[in-house]
Amino acid sequence: MDQNGAVVGPLYLFELASSQARYLELRQSTIATNVANANTPGFRARDVEPFNKVLDGMPVRLATTSPSHMQLSAAETDTRATAKKDSWEVVHSGNSVSLEQEMIKGSDVSRDYSMNSAIVRSFHRMVLSSAKA
């Protein structure tokens, strides 16, 4: 309950962070498969849909616990999937894996996972400190 006696809903941040961690695990596995097949003739590089497309499938609404909270329009909270990019190069054998591109993707996954972990740690500390008070 909040200070006005209203029931505050469950905290979905942990569920969202868990979903993103599973997404990052799948993307890292896909990148590793692409790198492992860099010399396989005819292999086409793959990637998973962006995480914001996953979020489009499960709408997240901002909680309002007071009538004085501002409401955002659907346009302000909308997320759009980014266009899927083609590989940078296709070699004569028909293989479309670009190791440079895959390394950049791997770096993006590492950065996103580090940010996810930092946010979860901070939120966990906040929940623990509020429970102690």
Question: Do residues 65 and 8 touch, judged by C-beta distance below 8 A?
Answer: yes
Residue 118 amino acid letter: A
pTM, 2 dp: 0.65
Q: Which two tokens stand for residue 90?
A: 């296709």
Q: Which two tokens stand for residue 113?
A: 């996972």
pLDDT at 77: 44
81 pLDDT tier (thresholds 50, 70, 90): very low
Alpha-carbon span 14 to 76, nearest angstrom: 23
pLDDT in tens, 98-133: 899 999 999 999 999 999 999 999 988 988 888 886
Highest mean pLDDT among 40-49, 63-72, 82-91: 40-49
Q: CA gyration radius for the chain?
A: 20
Instruction: Please provide the average confidence, as pLDDT, over all residues in the chain.
Output: 76
